[in-house]
Amino acid sequence: MPKLKGLYLPREAYASGLLDTGDGHQIYWERSGNPKGKPAVFLHGGPGGGCSAVHRQLFDPNDYDVMLFDQRGCGRSLPHASLENNTTWHLVQDIERLREMAGVDQWLVFGGSWGSTLALAYAQTHPDRVSELVMRGIFTIRKQELQWYYQDGASRFFPEKWQNVLSILSEEERKDVIAAYRARLTHSDRAIQLQAAKIWSLWEGETVTLLPTEDSASFGEDDFALAFARIENHYFTHLGFMETDDQLLRDVDKIRHIPAVIVHGRYDMACQVQNAWDLAKAWPEAELHIIEGAGHSFNEPGILDRLIRANQKFARS
């Protein structure tokens, strides 16, 4: 068996700043790696998760010039936890603004979980601006995917954790968990918002890896939880602001010419492996890797290995 590839050594960003979108948001961005390297953009998960320094380590700093940014309302972007002017299509516009700011014609687009959703939406809107796609933990924001994770599916594998999600809801509210949390996460009382946000965020933090990790505790931190839960619930309430339930699969023909790698954990509880299979069936030219013994997180060994290999391959293309 070949040795699994891991993260590159930590590296500081060589440039960073805030991009004013002109409609009330300021987007935190940073660039790292080789300023003369292959352009790439990293799309974080959530929505509402934000990017972190470890995400720079997915790219060889000698080969890539990678743009990382915090999507609207989360991380270091401002205003914090804002839902106003915050839709998938606003984010697609932001990616284009960042590309233009970077002065590149095309770039590799890398996204996992919600980042894969956004990668597909961006590529289908601007196919001529994408040189390659690397996607992990496929999420196409269909109703069946949301039903699985927030109503009746993953809860059967984590009954004690799901009980905590239900603990603040009445019997009637439990019939539509996303809607019930929406009411709390947009409540005028910050304490009510925060209570719901921590529960919502920890549900995800404690179920995205195959085995429990200490990292899940960070999902319960006030600032992170508030942005993560409010923004994620906002997008899920509106079904990702898509025209149709299957829009991202429907429009695959627009991007079938783009070289793509799809990586998905066999035991991903947040986003079922069926999602990756459905995408690959619609896109037979894409390279699909189903990783045994892995859940959802990018840093599970088998998943990380395949992501690093994909980036290495495309660095030479």
Q: Which of 65, 70, 251, 268 is catalytic?
A: 268
Q: Which of 25, 44, 234, 296 is catalytic?
A: 296
Token couple for 252: 């695959």
Query: Could you confirm whether 296 is annotated as catalytic?
Result: yes
Residues 165, 148: Cα–Cα separation, whole Å: 14
Strand ranges (E), 113-259: 130-136
How does 20-55 read in b/e, with b if 16+ C-beta sit within 10 Å? ebeeebbbbbbbbbeeebbbbbbbbbbbbbbbeeeb
**Bridge partners of residue 135, in order along the sequence:** 111, 262
Residue of 179, 195, 154 whose CA lies nearest to 238: 179
Residues 46, 87: Cα–Cα separation, whole Å: 13
Q: How far from each other are the two terminal CA atoms of the chain, in whole angstroms?
A: 26
What are the phi and psi torsion angles at 35 (to 5°)?
-55, -20
Residues 45, 117: Cα–Cα separation, whole Å: 9
Token couple for 22: 């002109």
Cis peptide bond upstream of 47, omega within 30: yes
Q: Which of 32, 77, 113, 297 is catalytic?
A: 113
- Angle (CA) 85 90 91, round 5°: 125
Query: Could you confirm whether 268 is annotated as catalytic?
Result: yes
In total, the chain counts a number of residues equal to: 317
Active-site annotation, residues: 113, 268, 296
